[in-house]
Structure 1
Amino acid sequence: MVVALMRIVVVGGSGLIGAHVVDVLRERGHAATAVARTAHPGVDQVLDLGSASVDELRALLAGHDGVVYAARTDEQRPLRKPIYPVFRRSMVEPVVRLFTAARQEGLTRGVVMGSYYTYFDRLHPQWRLAARHTYIRCRVEQAREGRAAAGADLPVAVIELPFVFGRAGDRLPNWSGPLDRWARSRLPLVVPTGGTAAVSARGVAEVAVDALEQRSGGDIPVADENLTWRDMVARIAEAVGRRRRVARLPTGVAGAALRLGGVLQALGRKESGVNPAHAADLLLAELFVEPATGRSLDPALRQTFTGPAQG
């Protein structure tokens, strides 16, 4: 199939995933405009999507065929209650403005980098994930309201991301630093039961560009491998050169620690996007995505963790 060349805006184009999307687009002959909040090597336009108006976004998108939203959200950082308005302002409202502008400018395709929690919310409605966790609620609203703003002529694919490994320049996954330091330390490696799907940043970018080329409007969960926590931590330890045994933390201990974290947050009048009072239901589950591609994560693991300790 012959694919027409596209002109694509990548919001968050200097980040881990966005930078790979820009690379894959250009490798396939498409034009990519990388947009970020701050000037950075490789950034073509500086714009804060959190405060940009629809008119400003229309000016940014003019002359393009599609747009990718790849901005990052920190769901774990505790904030003062109530956090829902804060999360809506940072996650939902910018996407609504972006796709309103995209529709008005006549763009024909879009991609949002979402979360695999929305996949599990569909798969297991009895878990009540959107009701229990503000971050997941806002991811669901982000996809629904972004698509509504885009309209029927602008299909928007949502890439439902699990743990993403890899590197883009100096950009690494936001959770990699603590795991890197833990794997290099003398502290015991102890993990609970359960596990997660995982994918490389390069793999995500290829799926995103495929979706743009095909004008997909689907929900697209992605995984290269499904890893238990024990497997993942053991492979991280090996990647940093400290191969050693990973022990199993009793389920009851892990659950109690998370519930205690929820109590302490409540006492401090704080919340986080993933509610620790219900986090055990996620942490101790096997959050696996099927089918996985089967591509080895080893190259992306080495990119993430090999080298000097992360500060």
Structure 2
Amino acid sequence: MAVCLPDTQDDAPSIPIKLTRVGVTGVKKLLQLERKNKRPIILLPTFDAFVDLPNNQKGVHMSRNPEAISEVLETVANDSTVDIESLCAKIVDKMMTKHEYAKRVEISMTTDFMFLKESPVTKNKTQEMSKLIAKATGFRKEDGTIEIRKQIGAEVIGMTVCPCAQESVRESNKNKLLDFLDEETTQKVLDTVTFASHNQRGVGTVLIEVPEDKKIKAEDIIEIIESSMSSPVCELLKRPDENATVLNAHANPVFVEECVRNMMEKIATKYSDLPDDTLITARQENQESIHRHNAYAEKVTTMGELKTELNIE
């Protein structure tokens, strides 16, 4: 005979305070996404899942969060059209059903993602890793209907070169050259030679809200992030590739602030058809080579606000 166990989560709390986010973190799953006429994508994502908790309930039904994740993953395993942000939206919808007391539900997913590229000179094929990010948030309205907003993004490693230090090196070398060259010849040398600077490993992140009728490819976001720094980096580099990477990076020095501005401009240009209320986040953290601290910049805005700043119709 089955024993009926008490459900203490539904009891009244001793301190009636509403909580903003309660749930589970670090839920790891194996996910295989089928793709038409292509090899399936194998991912090992990590999920965080939260709901809000009213002030008259002691606790959430915690097991329902990983349960919802598992149920949705089983249903999409053979769906060749699903994307990871829609997957998160489906989990949010499932959680809304399981947590009938919740007004707000949130799911986030991060996973390593491998993409192929070629080294700049030798054209060796190399496997590169980035991190994909997907989020979905559900809101239960007063009339009982549910609104779900989803986001897709990526975190990518690249290389940045400091413009300030490079200009200092250039000026120092200019004064040395003038000791034995005239000004015209010195200027020709300055215009020809690439000058040294300190550089950083840059970590760029973009997160874009995706309306129901739109598709945003993760590969395009990765390209936007990479091209917003001084240079992409590559796992496999032979000597000519190393030379080209260093020279190209030093020919395109950028501050951490410029990386974020570059990303935002590229997003506004590529996705100008997104609704004005589309939320966009871009951030850059440069791991400094001559300081013990890192440099950081971020912008959070809507597409409408961004287009107004850039005078884009």
TM score, norm. by length of structure 1: 0.26
* Higher relative contact order structure (alpha carbons within 8 Å, sequence separation ≥ 6): 1
More strand as a share of residues: 2
TM score, norm. by length of structure 2: 0.26
More helix as a share of residues: 1
Structure of larger gyration radius: 2
